[in-house]
Amino acid sequence: MISPQVPHGGPEVRVPHHINDPVIRSERLPNIWCPGCGIGIVVGAYVRALQKSAIPRERQISISGIGCTGRVSGYLNLDSYHTTHGRAIAFATGMAVARPELEITVIAGDGDLGVIGGNHLIHAARRNVDINVIMVNNFNYGMTGGQHGGTTPLGARTHTSPYGNVETPFNIPYLVAAAGASFVSRWTAMHVRQLTAAFSRMMEVKGFAFMEVLSPCPPTFGEFNGFPEALDMMKYFRDKAVVDHNADLSKIAVTARPDDSVVVGNFVDRKRPSYQELLGDLRARVQAQGVAKK
Amino acid sequence: MSSADAGGLKPGDHFMMGNFACVEGAILAGCRFYAGYPITPSSEIFERASVRFPQVGGNAIEMEDEVGSMAALVGASFGGAKVMTATSGPGFSLMMENIGLAYITEAPVVLVNVQRAGPSTGIPTLVGQGDMMQAKWGSHGDLETIAYSPSSVQEFFEFTIQAFNAAERFRTPVFVMADQIVAMMWERLRVPPAEEIEVTQRLVMEPAADQDRERVVFDYAKDFIPMPIAGRGSRVNVDSLTHDSRGYPTTDHGWSEKMTRHLAGKVRGHAREIWRWEEKFLEDAEVAVVSYGSAARSALAAVKYARAKGVKAGLLRLQTPWPFPDEVVEKVSRKVSGLVVAEINAGQMIHPVRENSRCPVVGVPWAPGTLIEPRAIVDAMQAVVAS
Amino acid sequence: MKFEIRITGLGGQGAITAGHVFGSAAALLEGKEVVVTEGYSPYVTGGWSRADVVVSDEPIDYPLVSRLDALVTMYQEGLDLNMKMVKPTGVVVAEQRLVDLSKVVGDKRVFPIPAADAADKLGKKVLMNIVMLGSAVALAAPRSLEPLKKAVMERFPKAAELNVRALDTGADLARAAKGRSIESLV
Amino acid sequence: MRAQQVAVQKKEIGPGAITREPINAAKFHKPVSRVYIIPERCKECDYCWTFCPNEVLELSDEINAAGYHHPKVKAGKENDCVNCGMCQAVCPEFAIYAKEEPRQ
């Protein structure tokens, strides 16, 4: 039933370039991530938020740490920085203080930001440094071959917890909200539209804007924990995610068990003075007093 | 080159602590960003920076640890700021990780290490010079280090400015290896007029055409490569991984070789321009002391005393321990019958001295947490002359 | 000519400040070569602290004191630990009520100064260090007090006059102390 | 094989579903779109065709240089892509997108 005014579709068309290619370093594709890895989806969501943002592309900065998610910066056609393991937020803090007009986004993994860099995470949230931080949480150390970390659920099996993990993991949004961030959210790699919307909101937020993105890690975490295919975990996210923006954050720890639900949402969006604003006020106050030259 | 910043200390004579003089040198050199973590005996640098930097439109921020401090410095350096921190041994150890980041990403950073006594926590309030080898070998992988070692408040001020100039020119971390004595002592500081203070500005990369994906951003054939500063549209990937001329990570042997040679070569190839040293009474010396930092003041006292006793003694003071001024040491070693290395540690710089000398070299191991006593150096010199 | 002085006291008494004032006067106003070094116990307050000042007409190589021309002490151990460093021709300026001088009776180098009481009379306890400094200079390095006065005025612009009076008081007490023997005090 | 399983599952949701037509439906047009693919970037994660709401896609028998089957438009579904953007958004590889065909 196609009227003459309506165009015809047709079979797929093979092309050399993607419509997002101007925003990425497409010459570096295919990327290094495993089939079904959620990191690429996060990159796509970030790219679409970049395209929508009114902030000039020159001022958009991407900073990563080390590990699988650490490679994100290298695929973005921005001023990008691939730093050291755990230190991306500290690196970003320095740049953000030196250049408050930049829109800095840190994209890194759970082990990177939440474990080795956990101290930088909570202190940046405490200071409310005006940066965006995306933590792609795949529940384990992927690049080194699947070891347990500070976000690995209790009981989960990895190469270094072969009998089940005996460490209680961080409930990351609860932690970051308690530390003082202006914006705290959690989504999954399956929530592709909410991811982009949250990215866009984070670029507007003044202060520390944080998002945890739960992501499949098929070859290491998934295989041992009831999600043999990447698709299994994506379906888990689709079927078991409960959107609750007003969730009690103390109760949203992730178990990553196929029968348990996962609470997602934009949990915190509040106004607190950012670190850069407070530093700017301080400078203005000091300079108004005049510099008594000795 | 341009001249010093107008926001700095008034020209003329001041009576000042070494740690304070260091901060004033940094401000005159154009430094406007400090990220630190307090540690004895360097804390006055952070305190003074906290007072002074906001006055001149800069920031002095406290990070959660030294690891974060050094990371923040590299970030701010790529933000275009001239950056510094100060620490002591324990903090220096923590900073090693991101000193390596600064090195491989070619970020100008100035780090002042006010050395104290002992390994681990050691004796925080007492003097040592035990971090000299750490400065050279502390961060993993091949690193070519530039380090200054001041012996007076005046030099602490001047070497801080020179450290910034070297850091900006060579785009590399540069250390000022001070010590507790020179940091805590008060002396007269003579500040020259701003126009007489030469200040080096870094080479900055021009914005790139958006779609020019094939350009060579890092031309390793050149020693000095313009720095891609965030927010100017250079669209460069800055990477802690070994990277090719476009800044992309690579495991290619050729690029690994090229990048590593470039990083070391830009310092080694210009070592003669970096070297600074002072010679005293070397013309007719039969024995010479090699020393640096506050220890060199004891060495000078020892040399004068020995001369008064009829021993033809001389002093070679290394103002830049790294890159090691091998030719200078070798030349001196050919003139004397022996060298005595006076330093406040169990023997560190004695190793490159020995490696480059043509005469016997003896050390004066010294680690009680005090300035090395001239008497010990005189004894060593007399033993060298007697043998 | 080289002159070495150690000023020592307990945290809060201002020993290090007195050293800085003396050092800056000599360096900036008298054109001397000066090094001031500091030392203190690991306790932030309450522990000992000291300033060592070397003044010379020549550039100073070894920066630390070795043989004291003057020792100024405002606590007991400051005397006990440092007497052995004082030259035979040196002077020891001790706070009369804070330091027990019974063990050094007969030592002609030692001068008790009632600086604490004098500071109380001036209306500010914290002036004790400046009173002691005035005494020390009058006894050990007789010279004009003018550069020192300028230095305290610069250092304490809000209490300039009071500090100048403290220096004068110290010098007066020094003159009085010269006429007294230690025996008469113990 | 897997494609068939997913299709069966989707059909199972069908019974009991109530569909209603908006009264202002005439004001809207249903976009007809084309699917564009970059086969060499595909790693056969199965996301695009699994999560395509209109079941427009399936795996091709062809493989790319890395040995992965890339997606293709199902026979008979050529006019069913409405450019919802799901395939593009859920693709981790920047290997697929859809674009609305210009209206004549």
Among residues B160, B178, B199, the one where a domain terminates is: B199
Per-residue model confidence (pLDDT) at position A284: 97
Q: Give the CATH number of the domain where residue A49 resides.
A: 3.40.50.970
Q: Give the CATH number of the domain where residue D68 resides.
A: 3.30.70.20
Per-residue model confidence (pLDDT) at position D17: 67
Do B147 and B284 lie in one domain? The reply is: no
Q: For residue A288, is pLDDT > 50?
A: yes
Q: A273 is in which domain, residue-wise? A: 35-287
Distance from CA of A62 to the nearest CA of B (A): 9
Asked if B55 is an interface residue toward chain A (Cβ–Cβ < 8 A), one would say yes
Q: For residue A274, is pLDDT > 70?
A: yes
Q: Do the domain assignments include residue D80? A: yes
Residue D89: which of A11, A16, A192 has the nearest Cβ? A192
Q: For residue A4, is pLDDT > 50?
A: no
Interface of B with C in 295-334 (CB under 8 A): 297-298, 300-301, 304
Q: Do the domain assignments include residue B355? A: yes
Q: For residue C46, is pLDDT > 90?
A: no
Q: Which residue has the higher pLDDT, B295 or D12?
A: B295
Q: Predicted confidence band at C41 (pLDDT cuts at 50, 70, 90)?
A: confident
Q: D66 is in which domain, residue-wise? A: 2-13+29-100
HEC letters along chain A: CCCCCCCCCCCCEECCCCCCHHHECHHHCCCCCCCCCCHHHHHHHHHHHHHHCCCCHHHEEEEECCCCHHHCHHHECCEEEECCCCCHHHHHHHHHHHCCCCEEEEEEEHHHHHHHCHHHHHHHHHHCCCCEEEEEECCCECCCCCECCCCCCCCCCECCECCCCCCCCCCHHHHHHHHCCCEEEEEECCCHHHHHHHHHHHHHCCCCEEEEEECCCHHHHHHHCCCCCHHHHHHHHHHHEEECCCCCHHHCCCCCCCCCCEEEEEEEECCCCCHHHHHHHHHHHHHHCCCCCC
Interface of C with B in 100-139 (CB under 8 A): none
Per-residue model confidence (pLDDT) at position D101: 84
Q: Do the domain assignments include residue A231? A: yes
Task: Please state the rounded mean pLDDT for residues C153-180.
Answer: 92
Among the ranges given (A233-237, B39-43, B97-101, C174-178), the one the predictor scored with the smallest mean pLDDT: C174-178
Neighbours of chain B (3+ CB pairs under 8 A): A, C
Among residues B172, B199, B226, the one where a domain terminates is: B199
Overall domain count for chain A? 1
Q: Predicted confidence band at D91 (pLDDT cuts at 50, 70, 90)?
A: very high
Q: Give chain A positions within 8 Å (CB) of D65.
A: none
Neighbours of chain D (3+ CB pairs under 8 A): A
Per-residue model confidence (pLDDT) at position A1: 46
Task: Count contacts between A and D (CB, < 8 Å).
Answer: 128
Domains of chain C with bracketed CATH: 2-180 (3.40.920.10)
Per-residue model confidence (pLDDT) at position C143: 77
Which amino acid, one-letter code, is at C143? R
Quick: pLDDT tens for A43-65.
999 999 999 999 999 999 999 99
Task: Please state the rounded mean pLDDT for residues B128-137.
Answer: 98
Q: Do the domain assignments include residue B33? A: yes
Q: Give chain B positions within 8 Å (CB) of C20.
A: 15, 186
Residue B101: which of A25, A84, A119 has the nearest Cβ? A84
Chain C interface, mutation test: which of B13, B188, B298, most C Cβ atoms within 10 Å? B188
Q: For residue D10, is pLDDT > 70?
A: no
Q: Do the domain assignments include residue B79? A: yes
Q: For residue B284, is pLDDT > 90?
A: yes
Asked if D48 is an interface residue toward chain A (Cβ–Cβ < 8 A), one would say no
Q: Give chain A positions within 8 Å (CB) of D50.
A: 231, 234
Per-residue model confidence (pLDDT) at position B272: 98
Task: Please state the rounded mean pLDDT for residues C4-28.
Answer: 95
Q: Do the domain assignments include residue D73? A: yes
Q: For residue C182, is pLDDT > 60?
A: no
Q: Do the domain assignments include residue D34? A: yes
Overall domain count for chain D? 1
Task: Please state the rounded mean pLDDT for residues A250-273.
Answer: 96
Task: Please state the rounded mean pLDDT for residues B175-192.
Answer: 97
Query: pLDDT > 90: what percent of chain C?
Result: 83
Per-residue model confidence (pLDDT) at position B3: 73
pLDDT mean across residues, chain B: 96
Quick: pLDDT tens for A116-156.
999 999 999 999 999 999 999 999 999 999 999 999 999 99
Do B190 and B300 lie in one domain? The reply is: no
Q: In terms of CA atoms, which chain C residue is nearest residue B303?
A: C61
Instruction: Give B337: exposed, middle or buried? Use CB within 10 Å, 0-12, 13-18, 19+.
Output: middle
Is the separation of the CB atoms in A256 and A140 below 8 Å?
Answer: no
Q: Do the domain assignments include residue A191? A: yes
Q: Give chain B positions within 8 Å (CB) of C34.
A: 15, 186-188
Do B32 and B161 lie in one domain? The reply is: yes
Task: Count contacts between B and C (CB, < 8 Å).
Answer: 55
Q: Do the domain assignments include residue B243? A: no
Per-residue model confidence (pLDDT) at position B4: 73
Q: Do the domain assignments include residue B281? A: yes
Q: Do the domain assignments include residue A261? A: yes
Residue B75: which of A57, A77, A91 has the nearest Cβ? A91
Q: Do the domain assignments include residue B233? A: no
Q: Predicted confidence band at D8 (pLDDT cuts at 50, 70, 90)?
A: very low
Q: Do the domain assignments include residue D24? A: no
Per-residue model confidence (pLDDT) at position C179: 67
Q: Distances in Å between the alpha carbon of D41 and those of A28, A279, D36, D69, D81?
A: 10, 45, 12, 11, 21
Q: Do the domain assignments include residue B84? A: yes
CB spacing of C34 vs B297 below 8 angstroms: no
Q: Do the domain assignments include residue A244? A: yes
Q: In terms of CA atoms, which chain B residue is nearest residue A282?
A: B54
CB spacing of A9 vs D86 below 8 angstroms: no
Q: Do the domain assignments include residue B249? A: no
Q: Do the domain assignments include residue D8? A: yes
Q: B96 is in which domain, residue-wise? A: 2-199
Residue C64: which of B124, B304, B371 has the nearest Cβ? B371
Among residues B199, B222, B250, the one where a domain terminates is: B199
Q: Do the domain assignments include residue A62? A: yes
Q: In terms of CA atoms, which chain A residue is nearest residue D71?
A: A12
Q: Do the domain assignments include residue D54? A: yes
Q: In terms of CA atoms, which chain C residue is nearest residue B183?
A: C37
Overall domain count for chain B? 2
Q: Give the CATH number of the domain where residue B97 resides.
A: 3.40.50.970
Q: Do the domain assignments include residue A10? A: no
Q: Do the domain assignments include residue A71? A: yes
The residue among D43, D92, D90, D46 whose CA lies nearest residue D64 is: D43
Q: Give chain A positions within 8 Å (CB) of D51.
A: 234, 238
Q: Do the domain assignments include residue D21? A: no
Per-residue model confidence (pLDDT) at position B259: 97
Quick: pLDDT tens for D41-69.
999 999 999 999 999 999 999 999 999 99
Q: Do the domain assignments include residue A8? A: no
Q: Do the domain assignments include residue D20? A: no
